[in-house]
Amino acid sequence: MTEKEYDKIPGTIVFDADKSREGYHLNQFCISLRLQENRDAFNKNEEAYLDAYPMSKEQREAVLKREWNLLLELGGNIYYTSKLAANDGINFQNLAGRMTGMGVDSYREMMLKGGRSIEGNRDKSEWGED
Amino acid sequence: MAKIIAGVGCSHVPAIGVAMDTGITHEEYWKPVFEGFKKSREWMKKQNPDVIFLVYNDHCTAFDARCIPTFALGCGVEFQPADEGWGPRPVPPVKNHQKMASHIAQSLVLNEFDITIMNEMEVDHGLTVPLSVMFGDIKQNDEWPSLVIPLCVNVVQYPAPTGNRCYNLGKAIRRAIESYEEDLNVIIFGTGGMSHQLQYKRAGLINSDWDKRFLDLMTEDPVGASQITHLEYLRETGSEGIEMVMWLIMRGALNENVTEVHRHYHVPASNTAVGHIILENNA
């Protein structure tokens, strides 16, 4: 695939049309959890609830295992996956603590100190990535 | 004739709404966020606008992945606060100025901005949080002090409309509003931002220097601001910072020369830099 101009930004997945296509059923599953009756059904039997959404095996596994970063890599978008997190009692800030690998407390501490600096976080080369 | 008297730029962080709804705005964490809106609320009272034209984005609430309009104009009678997964916010329904909205819809399409018309739509925190911060606590059984015409912009799926397109849409909105024959005062809101990234390993990114320059550009050089590329937003302000293109719609609807009457900037509110500006159209 041709490289996209935003592929060089480290630690970032841009939810573009390709990701949206790939993640369609995953995201529609996540957004269904906006409603209490759906959350009840999902929490009663996750596997059975997921059967209604023809997502890939990998996506389904990532949902069941709550692999938050993998969900994004497989086409999930944060505004959708955050509904799954909310169902589990995880708010946006705590979810970020998990996705960054920092843990909830040090993530919160970083935000209180002004957030993650842009310096050293513009290009994958600064992260030692391609 | 209707007239746009001012523009407001304002973040919409959901946690700000939660803080107001649960009565914890006096706590140390929230105090500095709300302190900066004191003057704004007094200013709003004084302006007492008939209509707010509110540019915002939906967070997969009214528009999930099934349907993603780039620009959608609320033309229905009223808009109920949506249940985003933790119950609807305890705020009143948002009432439209339906006749003016229809006029704007028609005018925009004839001016080659082919917007989507929404006659039924729920609204999420993207719309109600800016109203709450600017008006203060409004009880569920009361009414918002102004009518609201919502314009929803896609900033969830890349690409959002370009800054330039947004700026020009703002100009078309102004022509539409100011050709409406009733004598009404209108304030336009551009919402969202400022720098923030909610997702993946770089989550938590904040770029205060960039944000402050953006606020300067809002006042002094809107055309310059309209030329900021998507790549720059994504890289410098985080994947969700691109919401700031919505401020350009607001700015496009104002005069080139404006008076900045208030500005507020604070880090953090949850994962986000809170930014706010009030710009009055010079007479």
CB contact under 8 A, A115 and B205: yes
pLDDT score at B86: 86
Number of independent structural domains in chain A: 1
CATH of the domain at A28: 1.10.700.10
Report which secondary-structure segment, H or E, holds A60.
helix A57-64
- Contact assessment for residue B205 and residue A118, using Cβ atoms and an 8 Å cutoff: yes
Number of domains present in the structure of chain B: 1
Helices A78-87 and A92-99: crossing angle in degrees, nearest 10, is: 110
Q: Which residue has the tokens 């501490």?
A: A109
Nearest CB to A116; choose among B156, B205, B210: B205
Residue B188 pairs in a beta bridge with B7, B53
- Determine how β-strand B78-79 pairs with β-strand B147-153: unpaired
Enter the tokens of residue B11: 């973040």
Q: pLDDT digits over B152-182, tens only?
A: 999 999 999 999 999 999 999 999 999 999 9
> What pLDDT score does B208 carry?
98
Chain B, 18 to 57: residues with Cβ < 8 Å from chain A are none
pLDDT over threshold 80, residue A2: no
Which is it for strands B51-56 and B147-153: parallel, antiparallel or unpaired? Answer: parallel
Domain containing B66: what range? 3-281
pLDDT of B4 higher than 60: yes
**What is the pLDDT at residue A130?**
79
Q: Which residues contact B251 (CB under 8 A, 6 or more apart)?
A: B7, B9, B167, B170, B190, B218, B222, B225, B226, B279
Q: How confident is the model at residue B246 (pLDDT cuts 50, 70, 90)?
A: very high
CB count within 10 Å of CB B147 equals 21
The pLDDT, as a whole number, for residue A62 is 98
Mean pLDDT in residue range B140-157: 97
Amino acid at A13: I
A37 Cβ contact list (under 8 Å, min separation 6):
none
pLDDT, tens digit, for every residue of A13-58? 999 999 999 999 999 999 999 999 999 999 999 999 999 999 999 9
Please, what sign has the CA dihedral across residues B168, A14, A50, A84?
Answer: negative
Kindly state the average pLDDT of the residues A9-15.
98
Mean pLDDT score, B3-22 = 96
Render pLDDT for B174-197 as a digit per residue (tens, 0 to 9): 999 999 999 999 999 999 999 999
Which of A115-119, B58-62, B84-88, B195-199 is predicted least confidently?
Answer: B84-88
Which residue of B58, B66, B156, B202 to mutate against A (max A Cβ within 10 Å)? B202
Using one digit for the tens of pLDDT, what is the confidence trace for A102-118?
Answer: 999 999 999 999 999 99
Q: Give, in degrees to the nearest 5, the angle at Cα B38 between B36 and B41.
A: 120
For chain B, the average pLDDT equals 97
Mean pLDDT of the B226-239 span = 98
**A1: confidence class by pLDDT, cuts 50, 70, 90:** low
Segment B275-282 shows an average pLDDT of 96
User: What local confidence, expressed as pLDDT, does residue B243 receive?
Assistant: 98
Q: Report the CATH number at residue B251.
A: 3.40.830.10
pLDDT at B238 over 60: yes
The first and second tokens of residue B31, run together, are: 């105090």
Please indicate whether, in this complex, the C-beta atoms of B199 and A13 are within 8 angstroms of each other.
Answer: yes
CA distance B166 to B170: 6
Q: Which residues of A touch B15 (CB under 8 A)?
A: 92-93
Q: Which residues of B touch A10 (CB under 8 A)?
A: 201-202
- In chain B, the largest separation of any two C-alpha atoms, in whole Å, equals 52
- Among chain B residues, CA nearest to A68: B200
Q: Which residues of B are catalytic?
A: 125, 196
Q: Specify if A105 maps to a domain.
A: no
Residue numbers of B between 185 and 204 with CB closer than 8 Å to A? 195, 197-204
Tokens of B273: 């830099």
In percent, how much of chain A has pLDDT > 70?
A: 99
Domain-embedded: residue A31: yes
Nearest CA in chain A to B84: A34
Flag if A111 and B204 touch (Cβ within 8 Å).
yes
Domain that holds residue A59: 13-90
pTM, to two decimals:
0.97
Evaluate whether residue A38 is within a structural domain: yes
Beta bridge partners of B187: B6, B52
